[in-house]
Amino acid sequence: MTQKELHNERLAAEARQKELQFCTRRHFLKESAMGFGALALGSLLGSCGNNMGMTSPPAFDAAHPLAPRMPFFPAKARSVIYLHMAGAPSQLELFDYPELAKLNGQDCPPSLLEGKKFAFIRGVPKMLGPQANFKQHGNSGLWVSDYLPHFSSIVDDVSIIKSVTTDQFNHAPAQLLMHTGSARLGRPSIGSWVTYGLGTENQNLPGFVVLTSGGNNPDAGKSVWGSGFLPSVYQGVQCRSEGDPVLFINDPKGIDRDLRKASIDAINKVNQEQYKEFNDPEILSRISQYEMAYKMQISVPEVMNINDEPEYIREMYGAQPGKGSFANNVLLARKLVEKGVRFVQLFDWGWDSHGTGADTAVDIGLVNKCRQVDKAMTALILDLKQRGLLDETLVIWGGEFGRTPMQENRDGKEMPFKGRDHHAEAFSMWMAGGGVKGGTTYGETDEIGYSITSGKTDAFDIQATILNQLGFDHEKFTYEFQGRPFRLTDVGGKVMTDILV
């Protein structure tokens, strides 16, 4: 049996088992759900609109804000997994292989410094060659460094964009720009836009899930998954590795599942009495929300539990149950999209390689960070592929900006570790699946990775492309606020057709 056949065999076995579980669960839920709730659920799902061919967003229905809706045109991708490396990973140690090595240790030429502003670099810094070794990989011959040995094996499935640029060089505003289309607070995040446009497929799970690792939330806080001016129902729901997996999902101490079921039954019985008197359909809706809450209490811990995953899958990701690691989160992301969650956003903190200490040195700390994500992100692509989900799942990887080809000299002084400052002008991201071409690169930088020479791509272009793959014209997907329609992409954005199938 070849490796591939073995894989298929295992997957088939896993699928059969899941199907059995699913049948039992469906049976159980059907039995436990009360007639009334089922009725309300029917009307809820019945309201599933069809906007196909329409050019304007669906009208907001406050009674059923999360009912599934169709996009403007047939979508290439059904779900999105966005892996954000908060702190901004160095493109110069990972993907962009410029001839920077030749200049290592030389003073930075004044032409690169004139009129430029840096977060920490002062005076004339030295150039810093790539600390990693680069090789070409796959049939496509894409350049990837030895910091990412696993990722190197899947380059034929990804598009590396080497020409991303931003106009923000501090973390919080740059992250906001990347995810909300504005460097200032108050705009909805891309996941909120998508949930507003498409609703939720699996009513037992939130439609927009956020997972964080690395010990901190991103610098911009919860605003990067906030709903801005959209109704707050569209904000990202943070699933946590410690405490309740979703806030308030666990029953209080001393109140077990059966008793919780009994409470909800009693609440709904009283609410039914109320409905008999008032005839208000909102009461039916509340009854169904309580039933869904109960189902969510089963579904969420279940989907968040990676113990159920077979050993070889956990091994593939490098996931260890009980940890708040990136690897666990990536595996969870796959489980979530498998269950119909639309948008999964991961933030991994700790990529701010300034060289102020060993943990932020591009030749020490960055190597460790890469080790923490390399295997898992590679496994994600392989696993989605073997499940036939890669075609319909768009995976995006990147940070909020890049890092300078110069070595950081904080306060004009030489530093003990090798670090790089924030660099807004050029950085790299990659995308895979969901209708994105494999084995390609897009855009070029100059020979030292400092400026973009072709294929300039900004946050709006990335956002426009994500929306396009989900079936939305980013120029027509709007929300009325303060007297005018707003777009995720403001007045910018062009779909990056060159990297699309």
Enumerate residues 21-80 that contact another protein by CB under 8 A.
60, 62-63, 65-66
Contacting range for another protein; rule: CB under 8 A; set: 45-53, 112-120, 289-297, 302-310: 289-297
Q: Counting contacts by CB under 8 A, is residue 210 touching another protein?
A: no
Q: Which residues of 267-281 are buried (b: 16+ CB within 10 A; e: fewer)?
A: ebeebbeebeeeeee
Rg for the chain, CA atoms, rounded = 24
Q: Counting contacts by CB under 8 A, is residue 19 touching another protein?
A: no
| Tokens matching residue 264 | 């909800």
Closest to another protein by CB, 225 vs 472, is 225
What are the distances in angstroms from CA 80 to CA 235, 268, 433, 471?
Answer: 16, 36, 9, 12
* Closest CB 209 distance from another protein, rounded Å: 12
Contacting range for another protein; rule: CB under 8 A; set: 158-166, 263-271, 368-376, 426-434: 263-271
Q: Counting contacts by CB under 8 A, is residue 185 touching another protein?
A: yes
Given 42, 281, 321, 416, the residue binding another protein (CB under 8 A) = 281
Closest CA to 302 of 346, 262, 257: 257
Residues 411-450 that bind another protein (CB under 8 A): none
Closest to another protein by CB, 74 vs 243, is 243
Closest to another protein by CB, 262 vs 501, is 262
Q: What is the residue whose two structure tokens read 């639309």?
A: 342
Closest to another protein by CB, 65 vs 138, is 65
Q: What is the residue whose two structure tokens read 């606020």?
A: 481
Q: List for the chain the helix, strand, coil content (%; round to 5).
A: 40, 20, 45
| Tokens matching residue 499 | 């990297």
Contacting range for another protein; rule: CB under 8 A; set: 97-105, 227-235, 358-366, 457-465: 227-235
Q: Counting contacts by CB under 8 A, is residue 228 touching another protein?
A: yes
Closest to another protein by CB, 95 vs 234, is 234
Q: Counting contacts by CB under 8 A, is residue 332 touching another protein?
A: no
Q: Counting contacts by CB under 8 A, is residue 116 touching another protein?
A: no
Q: How far is CA 373 from the centre of its chain?
A: 14
Contacting range for another protein; rule: CB under 8 A; set: 13-21, 252-260, 400-408, 442-450: 252-260
**DSSP string of 164-193, one letter each residue:** EE-S--SHHHHHHHHHHS-SSTTSPPHHHH
Given 23, 278, 412, 454, the residue binding another protein (CB under 8 A) = 278
Q: Are strands 457-458 and 142-145 parallel, antiparallel or unpaired?
A: unpaired
Please count the residues of the chain.
Answer: 501
* Closest CB 175 distance from another protein, rounded Å: 11
Q: Counting contacts by CB under 8 A, is residue 219 touching another protein?
A: yes
| 200 CB-near residues (< 8 Å, 6+ apart) | 66, 67, 68, 206, 207, 340, 341, 342
Contacting range for another protein; rule: CB under 8 A; set: 280-288, 369-377, 422-430, 470-478: 280-288
Closest to another protein by CB, 131 vs 328, is 328
Beta strands in 99-255 (DSSP E): 134-137, 142-145, 158-165, 208-213, 237-238
Q: Counting contacts by CB under 8 A, is residue 183 touching another protein?
A: no
Q: Counting contacts by CB under 8 A, is residue 283 touching another protein?
A: yes
What track of x and - describes contact with another protein for positions 349 through 388 (by CB under 8 A)?
A: x---------------------------------------
* Closest CB 240 distance from another protein, rounded Å: 6
Closest CA to 235 of 273, 212, 205, 209: 209
Closest to another protein by CB, 160 vs 230, is 230
Helix (H) / strand (E) containing 348: strand 343-349
Site size with another protein, rule: CB under 8 A: 78
| Tokens matching residue 257 | 């599942």
Residue 366: exposure state from Cβ atoms within 10 A (0-12, 13-18, ≥19): buried
Q: Counting contacts by CB under 8 A, is residue 339 touching another protein?
A: no
Residues 452-481 that bind another protein (CB under 8 A): 480-481
Given 92, 194, 296, 376, the residue binding another protein (CB under 8 A) = 296
Q: What is the residue whose two structure tokens read 């309201």?
A: 47
* Closest CB 220 distance from another protein, rounded Å: 7
Q: Counting contacts by CB under 8 A, is residue 410 touching another protein?
A: no
Contact 461, 166 (CB under 8 A): no
Closest to another protein by CB, 7 vs 323, is 323
